[in-house]
Structure 1
Amino acid sequence: MTVRSLIAACCTALTLFAAGCAETADDSTASPERAAVDNSAPAGESEAEPGSDPAGSTQDSPTDADSTSPSPAAEAPEALQFTATTVEGAEFDGRTLVGKPTLLWFWAPWCPTCLGQVPEVEGLASQYAGELNVVGVGGLDSGSAIEDFAEDTEGITHLVDEEGAVWQRFGITEQSSYVLLDADGNEVLSSGYGEEVDLSGQIAEAVS
């Protein structure tokens, strides 16, 4: 081999060596970039925040039973499924009597016996205030006469029953009658005109 040929061969070898080093350097610098791209999330997607619900999950809500629980008024017996008007002109719903024992007093404005019962009924209303419903049901006369009679009483809710609808509902046919209901609205006592009855004792038992 001549000197010129030897020099040419050395130059070729050096050129190939330099090219190989450059390619290796390019590979080593490109790798981190590729790794970074591989570790990134696809475009348009983001990580869920800590504590967040997965997509599509729903929050617990109160059950239907919680929102539709029947009230005492809705559970009233048929006898208390009525409305009437008080002597003050307000609407009265019989279902509101459920929850406490109730004394219903059926009277007529012209009845001397009914007038004589006023002190006892007022006393019971005062004695059991907050524990007993006391409702007078005036009938067998005009609304104005019923209102006049009721003005002379205290602590009693009075209903105007000119047509006798409430009287009929409880099977009352004569004035000076009592009906005692328990807290569920069920009848526990019914007494008519002239009957001897331990009203105070019956009420004491009902509220106990």
Structure 2
Amino acid sequence: MNTLRTVPAPVVRAALLGGAAFALAACASPGAEPASTPDAEMSATHDAMESGDAMTDDAMDEESMSDDTMDEAAADVPEQLQFTTTLLADGATFDGASLAGQDTLIWVWASWCPTCQAEAPEVVDAASRLPEGVGFYGLPGKSDVADAQAFVDEYGVDGFPHLFDDDGTLWANFGVSYQPALVLIDDDGSVEVMPGATDADGIVAAAEKLAAS
């Protein structure tokens, strides 16, 4: 039979006081910061909001700088090079802006043009003798892809890329009214057109002129 023991009141009070002291000791570790006051919490929240605003402003400034940089880059591209077309060989997209800042020759031709056909061997010869740093492209137009590619294969002008201009839009863009013609693009953005057929030495001379300018 269990006997119920009565603990004297002074002992009970002592035990309760001791338990409370233990609880307080467990919550407050050595060196811990005192609990934040409402004023401290509001101050911290305010600081965080100001920091967030500063970060947002910085992000907006960076975005603005990025837009300005893009605008400046676009302004450096001459208007005549702001076009997009495709390569005859594989239909890949070609961005005319990639020619900005480069010395480039563009041979304008058409698959049905007998003068272009006669000029083709001269172009092949010249393409192998261009000075370093001068790019060379063909620009067939006013025909379909199949006929233009047949011309490339038949006359062996496959040693350089050809930009395709099915309706002559790019011809007009460069101020070419008839073919053949040679477009000279200087690295300073200026464009000059040599109308009519040009022999190999003439093409090389034009390239050397670009390289020297």
Query: Does TM, normalized by the shorter one, top 0.5?
Result: yes
Give the structure 1 partner of residue 195 of structure 2. 192
Q: Residue 82 of structure 1: CA displacement?
A: 0.9
In structure 1, the partner of 2:167 is 163
Deviates more, 1:109-118 or 1:166-175: 109-118
Of 167, 170, 173 in structure 1, the residue corresponding to residue 177 of structure 2 is: 173
1:104 aligns with 2:95: no
User: Matches of 1:42 and 1:142 in 2, distance apart?
Assistant: 81
Q: Distance in 2 between matches of 1:122 and 1:165?
A: 25
CA contact (8 A) 1:147 1:160 kept: no
- Secondary structure class of the residue paired with 2:102: coil
How many Å apart are 1:121 and its aligned residue? 2.7
Structural mapping, 1:20-31, within 5 Å: none
Instruction: Answer whether contact 1:138 1:162 (CA < 8 A) is retained.
Output: yes
User: Pick from 116, 125, 128: which aligns with 2:127?
Assistant: 125
Whole-angstrom CA distance in 2 between matches of 1:185 and 1:93: 15
Name the amino acid aligned to 2:101: G
**Range that drifts further, 192-201 or 116-125:** 192-201
Matched residue SS, 2:183: strand
Structure 2 letter corresponding to 1:184: D
Q: CA RMSD in A?
A: 3.3
1:100 shift after superposition? 1.2
Q: Which one of 143, 150, 157 corresponds to residue 153 of structure 1?
A: 157
Q: Say if 1:179 and 1:191, in contact at 8 Å, map to a contact too.
A: yes
What does residue 142 of structure 1 align with? 144
Contact 2:109/2:141 (<8 A) preserved? yes
Q: What amino acid does structure 1 have at the position aligned with 2:144?
A: S
In 2 relative to 1, CA 67–127 (structure 1 residues): closer, same or farther, beyond 3 Å? farther
Cα distance in 1, alignment partners of residues 143 and 203 from structure 2:
26
- Runs of 4+ with deviation above 6 angstroms: 55-59
Residue by residue over 1:85-111, the C-alpha shift from the partner in whole angstroms, topping out at 9 and shown as x without a partner, is: 111211111111112111111101122
Amino acid in the other structure paired with 1:177: A
Where in structure 1 are there 5+ consecutive unaligned residues?
1-39, 46-54
Task: Give the unaligned 5+ runs of structure 2.
Answer: 1-30, 37-46
Aligned residues: 158
Identity %: 32
Mapped partners of 1:154, 1:91: distance in 2? 18
Name the counterpart of 2:117: 115
The one-letter code sitting in structure 2 at the alignment partner of 1:43 is P
Q: Give the structure with the higher percent helix.
A: 2
